[in-house]
């Protein structure tokens, strides 16, 4: 099963392998370490699946719509280097629990949900739990 949740939520057994898909583990200044994100919060950090910095900035600081952000992030995920990693995660999640993590509390407008749905596109049999 592939799950998603905020990296701020505590680890539970059902999480399985916890993968951070964030570009950084800092506060919004981009420099100061986020004291709520500790190394034990995640098992693997896959920055390659984090949205490009410019895309995040365009969304949060320059009024890029969610629809355009979603379109651009999916375009980014469909590049060859990301596709290889996504396929690996998808295949692994068919036999063990994997949780994708990012800082957002709500998955509705969050890249972790988009990535999980992209994994499901690779294999429709993949079970998802978006949180």
Under-50 pLDDT residues of the chain: none
Query: Token match 């370490």: residue?
Result: 33
Is there a contact between 2 and 89 (Cβ–Cβ < 8 Å)? Answer: yes
Sketch the domain layout of the chain as residue ranges. 2-129
Q: What is the pLDDT of residue 61?
A: 87
CA Rg, the chain, in Å?
14
How far is the C-alpha of 36 from the C-alpha of 14, rounded, in Å?
21
Q: What is the pLDDT of residue 25?
A: 95
Sheet holding 2-6, edge to edge: 44-45, 17-20, 98-102, 2-6, 128-129
Nearest of 79, 91, 54 to residue 69 by alpha carbon: 54
Q: What is the pLDDT of residue 71?
A: 97
Q: What is the pLDDT of residue 122?
A: 95
pLDDT of 36-61, one tens digit each? Answer: 999 999 999 999 999 999 999 899 88
Determine how many CB atoms are found less than 10 A away from the CB of residue 76: 16
Q: What is the pLDDT of residue 99?
A: 98
């Amino acid at each position: 099963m592939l799950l998603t949740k905020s990296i701020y939520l505590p680890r539970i057994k059902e999480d399985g392998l916890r993968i951070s898909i964030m570009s950084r583990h800092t506060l919004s200044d981009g420099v100061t370490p986020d004291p709520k994100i500790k190394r034990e919060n995640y098992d693997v950090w896959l920055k390659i699946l984090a949205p490009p910095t410019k895309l995040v900035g365009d969304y949060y600081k320059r009024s890029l719509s969610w629809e355009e952000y979603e379109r651009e992030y999916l375009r980014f995920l469909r590049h060859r280097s990301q596709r290889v990693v996504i396929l690996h995660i998808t295949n692994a999640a068919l036999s063990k629990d994997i949780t994708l993590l990012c800082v957002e509390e709500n998955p509705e407008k969050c890249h972790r949900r988009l990535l999980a749905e992209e994994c499901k596109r690779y294999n429709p049999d993949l079970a998802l739990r978006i949180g």
